[in-house]
């Protein structure tokens, strides 16, 4: 069966998770990435959901939201929203996933407004816990569709801060977390160096020029950039076990 872009993104995101880390998981592809990492190279990782559920294994049935009943069965811990936010504030969350409508070259994310915030064309869901995760987790993984309108030189509204306007901004803003580490899109993987997203790899069917055309800033390439490594046979088998209908990976 042909590999889907969603499956490739899950594998790329899972490789960013290290053994023993506390991961602020979220839903959809980040959730699959966490459980893939657990099943392969990071058996000691622990997943934290914003609603207070902590898990180290997939739910026994598919989830539409993190508060679905199957997410409770087999959980390590079920609290409320105060507990995961407390872990963030104490610096005990190693990595958190964030998505949004827009992201810019410095990793700032907009999930609030399209257009002038005072009279927006579109009003989006807002932060949720995104601003907390972006500010306080030790590092951040961004995952989102790749579109020139969404990967912009500067987001129209900063919901969740990345590196602001460049190196040193987070320190000046008093943010304890380390900021974005990687941006994984439907076309490529970017790695943050010096507060800027540099192109690290491009997915099958694309090349560096394709990525540049569909990115709203002048893309610089990281040293050693090349094609994204596809999932191994083991990784792909686990992904398809976790998402048998291809609901999240759009297989």
**50 catalytic per annotation:** yes
- Ranges of the chain whose pLDDT falls below 70: 1
Contacts of 119 (CB under 8 A, 6+ apart): none
Q: What is the pLDDT of residue 169?
A: 95
Q: CB-based burial of residue 4 (10 Å sphere; 0-12 exposed, 13-18 middle, 19+ buried)?
A: middle
CB-CB contact of 228 with 204 (8 Å): yes
Report pTM: 0.93
Q: What is the pLDDT of residue 26?
A: 85
Q: Which of 7, 16, 50, 196 is catalytic?
A: 50
Q: What is the pLDDT of residue 237?
A: 96
Rounded Cα distance, 120 and 84, in Å? 32
Give tens-digit pLDDT for 142-170: 999 999 999 999 999 999 999 999 999 99
Query: Is the CATH number 3.10.580.10 carried by domain 5-242?
Result: no
Q: What is the pLDDT of residue 1?
A: 62
Domain extents in the chain? 5-242
Give tens-digit pLDDT for 63-79: 888 888 988 988 999 98
Q: What is the pLDDT of residue 144?
A: 95
Q: What is the pLDDT of residue 116?
A: 85
């Amino acid at each position: 069966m042909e590999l889907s872009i969603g499956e490739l993104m899950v594998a790329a995101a899972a490789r960013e998770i290290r053994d023993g880390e506390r991961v602020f998981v979220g839903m959809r592809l980040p959730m699959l990435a966490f459980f893939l990492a657990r099943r392969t190279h990071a058996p000691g990782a622990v997943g934290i959901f914003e609603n207070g559920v902590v898990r180290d294994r997939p739910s026994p049935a598919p989830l539409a939201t993190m508060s679905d009943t199957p997410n409770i069965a087999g959980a390590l811990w079920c609290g409320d929203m105060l507990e995961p936010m407390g872990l963030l504030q104490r610096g005990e969350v190693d990595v958190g996933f964030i998505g949004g409508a827009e992201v810019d070259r410095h990793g700032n994310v907009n999930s609030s407004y399209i257009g002038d915030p005072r009279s927006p064309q579109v009003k989006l869901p807002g932060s949720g816990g995104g601003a907390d995760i972006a500010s306080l987790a030790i590092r951040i993984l961004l995952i989102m569709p790749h579109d020139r309108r969404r990967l912009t030189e500067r987001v129209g509204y900063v919901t969740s801060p990345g590196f602001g306007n460049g190196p040193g901004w987070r320190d000046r803003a008093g943010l304890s977390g380390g900021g974005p580490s990687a941006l994984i899109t439907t076309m490529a993987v970017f790695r943050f160096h010096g507060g800027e997203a540099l192109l690290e790899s491009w997915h099958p069917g694309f090349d560096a020029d394709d990525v540049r055309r569909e990115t709203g800033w002048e893309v610089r390439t990281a040293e050693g950039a090349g094609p994204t490594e596809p999932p191994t046979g083991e990784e792909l088998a686990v992904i398809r076990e976790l998402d048998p209908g291809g609901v999240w990976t759009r297989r």
